[in-house]
Amino acid sequence: MKENFYITKHGKLVRKENTIYFIDMDGEKHLLPVNKISSIYAYGRVTLTSGVISYFAKNKIPVHFFNKYGFYTSSFYPREKYVSGLVVVKQAEHYLDNKKRMNLAKKFVDGAAGNIIRNLSRWKIERGKIDEYRSKIETTRNVQELMEVEGKIRETYYDLLDSILPEEYRMIKRVRQPPNNKMNSLISFGNSLMYTTVLSEIYNTQLYPEISFLHEPSERRFSLSLDIAEIFKPIVIDRIILKLVRKGMLVEKDFREDLNAVLLSDFGRRKFLQEYNSKLKSTITHRGLGRKVSIQRMIRIECYKIIKHIIGANEYKPLIAWW
């Protein structure tokens, strides 16, 4: 399976015939194994020539760009390579029909809640009121009510995590724009990564990334990625963060302060990206397929399950980790 490629330095991507190179600010040239790359994540100021863009488009390689704070800004998204008019029509139909939309939206929230509970069980933490809030998912009447329940589940979850974290890594309160402490910084960085990875996997299916069910579609974001990412953030991002923190893998130089924000430094980003890439490549024996499947492949399988649901083939059941 192809892998992600991460660029953490400033520089430019250039093309020489059918070869792509990254030339960093020191003039060092790095060959990109294009035939082995699924997506590129650019964390530095990266310039792309028209030849590179054309080559990436031909080879169907998305490029995701992040600003100096490590937050997602935009993507170069090649023309969809898998197009299905039926899927787009059915996807829009499920958004426009409130009953169908709520059915899917509730499944995303319930899947996320199930994975949160699985994490708490792994870390031997009491669930608090999470079961109570989860039981309210089914009775919500609209997306706004559902998002309020989802917010309470997350808030309770983060409060519970604080009980097992060192004081300097306690969240206290979720703050996004900008993150005000180390834990908020780690979560914001990781969630941006998860969003773009899901977007890349959607690209490899017939789903349309701008028609979503839990989050409102927007002109400025691929909102379906936000929906699907809810399921995977607990079992990918949160587990990476807890590993980094509880094993003492992070040090002071992995963070930096910028005005009133606390952000990952270049050292911290590289450390997180290494763990992230390792997590995506790790494999689990899939219960339905009966063979080992990588975590990244599971994201694409989740997309296929949604497709089967909207075309009426199989009822969608969100992935809830058993490992």
Show the domain range for 34. Answer: 3-61
Q: Same domain for 150 and 291?
A: yes
For residue 300, tell me if it sits in a domain.
yes
Residue 93 inside a domain? The answer is yes
Per-residue confidence (pLDDT) for residue 220, from 0 to 100 = 64
pLDDT at 2: 84
Same domain, 143 and 7: no
What's the CATH number where 172 sits?
Answer: 1.20.120.920
75 lies in some domain: no
- Residue 72 included in any domain: no
pLDDT over threshold 90, residue 82 = no
Residue 67 lies in a domain: no
Average pLDDT, integer, range 282-308: 94
Non-local CB neighbours of 212 within 8 Å, separated by 6+ positions: 95, 223, 224, 226, 227
In this prediction the pTM is: 0.92
Do residue 170 and residue 296 come from a single domain?
yes
| 54 and 96 part of one domain | no
Query: Does 15 share its domain with 93?
Result: no
Overall number of domains in the chain: 2
Per-residue confidence (pLDDT) for residue 176, from 0 to 100: 82
From residue 309, give the alpha-carbon distance in Å to each of 12, 208, 305, 316. Answer: 42, 14, 6, 5
- pLDDT score of 78 more than 90: no
d(CA 306, CA 107): 11
Q: What are 2-44's pLDDT values in tens digits?
A: 889 999 999 999 998 889 999 999 899 999 998 899 999 999 8
Instruction: Assess if residue 77 is contained within a domain.
Output: no
The average pLDDT across 117-133 equals 95
State the CATH number of the domain containing residue 43: 3.100.10.20
Phi, psi of 62 (to 5 degrees): -70, 150
Supply the pLDDT for residue 231. 98
The answer on 302 and 196 residing in a single domain is yes
Give 289's pLDDT tier (boundaries 50, 70, 90): confident
pLDDT digits (tens, 9 = 90+) for 61-74: 999 999 877 889 99
Residues 40 and 125 in one domain: no
Q: Are residues 18 and 126 in the same domain?
A: no
d(CA 10, CA 27): 11
195-242 pLDDT per residue, tens = 999 999 999 999 999 999 999 987 567 999 999 999 999 999 999 999
Residue 305 lies in a domain: yes
The pLDDT assigned to 249 comes to 97
Same domain? 43 vs 91: no
Domain boundary among the residues 46, 61, 76 is at 61
127 pLDDT more than 70: yes
pLDDT tier at 258 (50, 70, 90 boundaries)? confident
Q: Is residue 162 part of a domain?
A: yes
